[in-house]
């Protein structure tokens, strides 16, 4: 019974590539950015990118591997209480790894401007205009209390785009059912060294490095899987 419960919980995080508890567990690793740490300047400084990627994201990866080992041990020992007590750490660190792995690909030194093709058509259909979409995502993301993420997601049930906020490192799809397309990290470590406490300036500036090709690809994949 314990193994089935834990496997069900893991099943909500398919993008992590978690191995079955009955088999060999695959360790997670820090993904490459795909660009240099200074490539997103002046929007995001090299110092922030190094701190964010090498320290914060890497910590989520390290802690995720540790908590998975602890859960596997609890499963092997039939320790239900221990397994349950570890689930918040799995959600936090697993979410941190998932969210940042998406975030890095959502950004590009060649980004910015506006999307084209099906993505733009879908944004206009669901939000009225691209400017209306940006305003809504900016407003809701800046208003997040404490730390969290602003998301553009795809609803596989309705086939429509939706904006959603997630607290802390809660992953979008397991939390809301929306497939993540574009995320904006508003934890202070993502911007404070450069933008201080003016979150709005950071959120406005990040549009200049959004990788619309990546967002479009994610939309295409979400529609194909639906």
Q: Does pLDDT of 13 surpass 50?
A: no
Q: In the beta sheet, which residues pair with residue 164?
A: 151
pLDDT for res 24: 56
Burial level of 197, CB count in 10 A (0-12/13-18/19+)? Answer: exposed
pLDDT for res 2: 29
Band of residue 226 on the pLDDT scale cut at 50, 70, 90? confident
**In whole angstroms, what separates CA 184 from the centre of its chain?**
8
CB-CB contact of 209 with 43 (8 Å): yes
Q: How far apart are CA 99 and CA 53, in angstroms?
A: 12
Band of residue 25 on the pLDDT scale cut at 50, 70, 90? low
Arithmetic mean of pLDDT over the chain = 90
pLDDT for res 117: 97
CB-CB contact of 212 with 119 (8 Å): yes
**In whole angstroms, what separates CA 174 from the centre of its chain?**
11
The pTM is what?
0.88
Q: Does pLDDT of 7 surpass 80?
A: no
User: Could you report how far apart the first and last alpha carbons of the chain are, in Å?
Assistant: 31
Q: Does pLDDT of 126 surpass 50?
A: yes
> pLDDT by residue (tens digit) across 127-154?
999 999 999 999 999 999 999 999 999 9
Q: Does pLDDT of 61 surpass 60?
A: yes
Q: Does pLDDT of 109 surpass 70?
A: yes
C-alpha atoms less than 13 angstroms from C-alpha of 191 in its C-beta half-sphere: 22
Band of residue 26 on the pLDDT scale cut at 50, 70, 90? confident
Q: How far apart are CA 215 and CA 212, in angstroms?
A: 5
Q: Does pLDDT of 86 surpass 80?
A: yes
């Amino acid at each position: 019974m314990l193994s089935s419960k834990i496997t069900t919980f893991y099943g909500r995080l398919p993008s992590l590539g978690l191995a079955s508890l009955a088999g060999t567990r695959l360790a997670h690793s820090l993904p490459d950015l795909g660009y240099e740490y200074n490539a997103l300047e002046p929007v995001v400084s090299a110092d922030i990118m190094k701190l964010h990627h090498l320290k914060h994201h890497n910590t989520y990866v390290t802690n995720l591997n540790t908590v998975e080992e602890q859960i596997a041990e609890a499963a092997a020992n039939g320790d239900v209480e221990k397994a349950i007590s570890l689930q918040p750490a799995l959600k936090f660190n697993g979410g941190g790894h998932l969210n940042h792995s998406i975030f890095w690909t959502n950004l590009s030194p060649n980004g910015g401007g506006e999307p084209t093709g099906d993505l733009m058509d879908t944004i206009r259909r669901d939000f009225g205009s691209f400017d209306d979409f940006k305003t809504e995502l900016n407003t809701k993301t800046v208003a997040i209390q404490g730390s969290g993420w602003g998301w553009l997601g795809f609803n596989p049930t309705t086939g429509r785009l939706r904006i959603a906020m997630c607290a802390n490192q809660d992953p979008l799809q397991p939390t809301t059912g929306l497939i993540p397309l574009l995320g904006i990290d508003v934890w202070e470590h993502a911007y404070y060294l450069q933008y201080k406490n003016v979150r709005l300036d950071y959120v406005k500036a990040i549009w200049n490095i959004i990788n619309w090709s990546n967002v479009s690809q994610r939309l295409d994949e979400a529609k194909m899987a639906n």
